[in-house]
Structure 1
Amino acid sequence: PEGIKEEMNKKKGAVEQLDYLYKECVKTNQQIYLFIDEYDHFTNKILSEPSCLEDYKSETHGTGYLRSFFDTVKAGTYSTIKRCFVTGVSPVTMDDLTSGFNIGTNYSLSPEFNEMTGFNEEEVRAMLDYYATTCQFHHSTDELIEAMKPWYDNYCFAEQSYGSTTMYNSNMVLYFVDNYIRNGGYMPRNMVEENIRVDYNKLRMLIRKDKEFAHDASTIQTLVQQGYVTGELKTGFPAETVAEPDNFISLLFYFGMLTISGTLEGETKLTIPNQVVREQLYSYLLDTYNEADLRFDNWEKGKLASAMAYRGDWKAYFDYIAECLHRYSSQRDKQKGEAYVHGFTLAMTAQNRFYRPISEQENQEGYADIFMFPLLDIYKDMLHSYIIELKYAKGKDSDEKVEQLR
């Protein structure tokens, strides 16, 4: 009706405007379909600074503005708000707003939507087959799938869907295809698009509520060392409990850092989905190892990595890692023992652009601690690859013991 928009604009803020609008719709027997995207943007922004936690609580509890908004949405559902669809990443806000908006159904972990986000392999193949008829390709579809799969595939968003279809990260697939075509049918040198990287400052502030990092450090350490973690995926939790192990594991899952890999001993088993995430997680792990502003000289690191890959000069590269290990490790880190050294070495070698480090790769004689898988699709003239066996000696061990391990 005439004048509605003008009258609505006189109201102060979204809460009053929505309240006015849905009541006017009652009079004209009209219905509202309400879509809210990135509902958690507000939460993540506030939680990225620990000092803002009190502001967050005031906005989402009692008479807080965000709480009032969802109270108004709920009130409108009894009359003219026919459907409301809310999307976001973090499950934090909705839990804190539950009593204000406790009429929703959470579909995040529902198997019927497992394939809604991302591409399945059939779709990726169809895309590659199509472009192969219109652009210059130097590889078959099978060869391109083989190159892409370890980097972009293996997402599962529902426990019941495990073992059936896995999903490729759609942004990453499009990045690869775009680069491959523009490169004239050659593999992109960098398999990770910078824009896709998670904002680690935000993630770090979400999970570090003090300087001890008790749960998150141990969870990531376990993940790196044994390749998986187990826990219960939560559909929501209050912001102040984000550091609890199950909540922290759930947060990593919702941020795309973990994927469902079945069940183990009655709990959900979660693993790192692919090499893109593994590379990001190792970068984050390096950051957690040291509270100082940790910076590694990329130019120096790049030269050492190149000499290792092309000239077989591995000693200088690992001397550099050993130096970093000594320079940046705190006394608390050193108490973690062999797992810490393994994790640090994995994280450092993951920065090497010539290799994909694989932890405890199976071979005929057992396991190598780290296998440096050479990226020959990209660096065809590379000459050297490596397996790494780590031996750990305690500070009090004798020279004879050290020699025996060596």
Structure 2
Amino acid sequence: MIRFPYGISNFPVIRTEGYLYLDRTHYLPLLEEAGKQLVFLRPRRFGKSLLLSMLANYYDIKTADQFDTLFSGLEVGHNSTPEHNRYLILRWDFSNVLAQGSAEQIRQNLFDHLNVRIQGFVNQYREQLPDVQLNLLRDNALSSFEELVTVVQEHGHQIYLLIDEYDNFANEVLVRDAHNSRPYRELLEGEGILKGLFKIIKTSAAEGKLARVFITGVSPLVLADMTSGYNVATDISQQPRFNTLCGLTQQELGGLVTTVLQDCGQDESQGEGLLQTLKQFYNGYRFCDQLDQPLLYNPILCFYFLRHYQDECKAPRQMLDGNLMMDAARIRYLANQPSGTDVVERILDEENTITLDVLENRFGVEKLADLQQDERYLLSLLYYFGVLTIVDTDRLGKLMLGIPNLVTRALYVDELRQRILPAPKDRIAVANLAEKFYQTADLQPLADYLEQKYFAAFNNRDYAWSNELTIKTAFLTLLFNDIYYVVDSETALQRRYADLVLIIRPSMRQYPTLKDLVLEFKYLPLADLKLTGEQVREQSREHLMQLPAVQAALQAALAQLQHYRTVLVDKYQEPQRLYCMAVVALGFDRVVWQTL
């Protein structure tokens, strides 16, 4: 059985204890050629820490006698570079710096981390640094670092500095309070502590005390805010040749799925369906603008799914691992920015693609205050956080951005749901209504709730700008459930598109009460009906359905549904479970529907 390294980023452990390792060592010569000081940005939980662990063990002078054990059978094992096992390795992990308290407290947390790692470094390299005793200053770890690099150089060695999650604690400070960036600014602006630290790194590299620097993180925001302190690094994040440096490819995943099915004694013919599920929920990431580069899967989520499947011989009930809800806070932070909620709603609208001329890669926190005038920064941040990705380019070469997969879509939907229904009791009530709808296809209880509660959550501005998209978003927000369904909007059905499709997940089709559901929406402004909101609310649904404009809208939607039904029945072969509904909203006051 495959030993999936779920949550394990220790390269020697993976290599010596039989865990799966997907070889990325063929990138080592390319990384050496790319520059002496590199920055590599990827969303969280994409394998960056394992990459750094591999680099550390490849270049560490102390692991030279373990080279064959660690790298035999890998590409670099029989094609190593002259620099292997040549340096002393200093590793910092800023995700271990607690981002709580005042700026002064966070500063001290950073100093404590640096001093602990510096002392550990000296202890590790006693053979190379005999009798070295550093004066570690608790209130000035920058001085400790300067002393360290000088002493190492005096002993005839060089340091390879590896910094993991360089922006983690600074981003946590920023995200914690979307309306108060002061603590963040204190860490970075002027003579802020991070800017001071990276000035020393820059100077030490220029003086030859640091041979190489490799930095990982999520976004370029922090780098931009300390540009004058560290403006010499090469950002390789969007270079096409490094697109697959982290993440899983379709080919790699296909081989793992085949092995897992064999372990379960299941027919390999099930692999296509399993890969389709993984693709819908975990695929879709592209980290460059060259469309011939492969789309990537989130590795940690794939390992979570495959490990569960290997143990239980069935898919996990919940597709998003509860330990990986890390992006929700970032979406919330960005949604709290001026125009943020509007951007989230636009992102969920697949009919109107979002485009950017280029991804912003040098912008600081001051730009976040200008988002009402310029959304480039917000959209670029969403890309770096992994909740938007490059899906295509348009005729002018602009980047077309979209949601990469269904687990990411769930985060957006949940954010909207919490904004529209902030009270937990309301969200629970909606979940109960939705669950009944999944089993009965009876829309009335849900429609009653929409009319009595949900529509009231929209203000006059929403009403003025309401349209078919607004109604579709409302239903998507209420009905989205990735435990039971593959939930998609604007689903391609032989080059025609259904507004909202809920297809039972393969692993959930065993529950006979669940229905496959297709909804097609139409929106009629009250002005077109020549009725006021009060008049519409006073009339029964039966009477409203007979209005000529409503009948025309229903018939148009039913005609579209007839096509979708034919395609879906042919695909799933269960016509008795498929319910297709035409839904017409009359302003933001009433909803009527008809089942095909």
TM normalised by structure 2 equals: 0.62
Displacement after TM superposition at 1:23 (Å): 1.9
User: Are 2:488 and 2:501, in contact at CA under 8 Å, matched by a contact in 1?
Assistant: yes
Displacement after TM superposition at 1:345 (Å): 1.8
Letter in 2 for 1:69: L
Instruction: Note the alpha carbon deviations across 1:200-222, whole angstroms, 9 max, x for none.
Output: 3344235534xxx32x2332222
Displacement after TM superposition at 1:170 (Å): 0.8
Alignment of 1:68-147 (within 5 A): 68-79=196-207, 80-137=209-266, 140-147=270-277
Q: 1:56 to 1:187 in 2, by over 3 A?
A: closer
Letter in 1 for 2:413: Y
Distance across 2 between alignment mates of 1:352 and 1:96? 38
Percent of matched pairs sharing the same residue = 25
In structure 1, which of residues 1, 7, 19 is the aligned counterpart of residue 146 of structure 2? 19
Letter in 2 for 1:135: C
1:275 aligned to 2:406?
yes
1:204 aligned to 2:332?
yes
Distance across 1 between alignment mates of 2:212 and 2:518? 57
Distance across 2 between alignment mates of 1:324 and 1:182? 43
Displacement after TM superposition at 1:363 (Å): 4.1
User: Are 1:36 and 1:87, in contact at CA under 8 Å, matched by a contact in 2?
Assistant: yes
Structure 2 residue aligned with 1:311: 440
Structure 1 residue aligned with 2:530: 398
Structure 2 residue aligned with 1:240: 366
User: Are 2:335 and 2:341, in contact at CA under 8 Å, matched by a contact in 1?
Assistant: no
Q: For structure 2, which runs of at least 5 residues remain unmatched after alignment?
A: 1-128, 532-546, 554-583, 585-596
SS of alignment partner, residue 21 of structure 1: helix
Instruction: Note the alpha carbon deviations across 1:166-222, whole angstroms, 9 max, x for none.
Output: 111111111111221222x1222222212222343344235534xxx32x2332222
Letter in 2 for 1:230: T
Q: 1:329 to 1:316 in 2, by over 3 A?
A: same
Alignment of 1:273-352 (within 5 A): 273-289=404-420, 293-295=422-424, 297=426, 299-338=428-467, 339-351=469-481
Structure 2 residue aligned with 1:225: 349
User: Are 1:14 and 1:69, in contact at CA under 8 Å, matched by a contact in 2?
Assistant: no
Distance across 2 between alignment mates of 1:38 and 1:203? 19
Q: 1:91 to 1:287 in 2, by over 3 A?
A: farther
Structure 2 residue aligned with 1:359: 489
Distance across 1 between alignment mates of 2:365 and 2:221? 6
Letter in 2 for 1:194: G
Letter in 1 for 2:254: R
TM normalised by structure 1 equals: 0.88
Moved more, 141-150 or 218-227: 218-227
Q: For structure 1, which runs of at least 5 residues remain unmatched after alignment?
A: none
Distance across 2 between alignment mates of 1:90 and 1:245? 16
Q: 1:384 to 1:129 in 2, by over 3 A?
A: closer
Q: 1:376 to 1:320 in 2, by over 3 A?
A: farther
In structure 2, which of residues 136, 152, 159 is the aligned counterpart of residue 9 of structure 1? 136
User: Are 1:305 and 1:317, in contact at CA under 8 Å, matched by a contact in 2?
Assistant: yes
Structure 1 residue aligned with 2:174: 47
Distance across 2 between alignment mates of 1:261 and 1:83? 34
User: Are 1:207 and 1:248, in contact at CA under 8 Å, matched by a contact in 2?
Assistant: no
User: Are 2:484 and 2:505, in contact at CA under 8 Å, matched by a contact in 1?
Assistant: yes
Letter in 2 for 1:219: V
Moved more, 377-386 or 71-80: 377-386
Distance across 2 between alignment mates of 1:402 and 1:303? 33
Distance across 2 between alignment mates of 1:20 and 1:295? 54
Displacement after TM superposition at 1:394 (Å): 3.0
Structure 2 residue aligned with 1:261: 391
Q: 1:353 to 1:315 in 2, by over 3 A?
A: farther
Distance across 1 between alignment mates of 2:487 and 2:251? 28
- The number of equivalent residue pairs is 397
In structure 2, which of residues 291, 298, 309 is the aligned counterpart of residue 180 of structure 1? 309
Instruction: Note the alpha carbon deviations across 1:354-374, whole angstroms, 9 max, x for none.
Output: 333322234469533222223
Displacement after TM superposition at 1:60 (Å): 1.2
Distance across 1 between alignment mates of 2:160 and 2:213? 6
1:377 aligned to 2:501?
no
Letter in 1 for 2:253: V
Which 4+ stretches in 1 moved above 6 angstroms?
Answer: none
Distance across 2 between alignment mates of 1:383 and 1:94? 49
Distance across 2 between alignment mates of 1:323 and 1:114? 49
Structure 1 residue aligned with 2:112: none
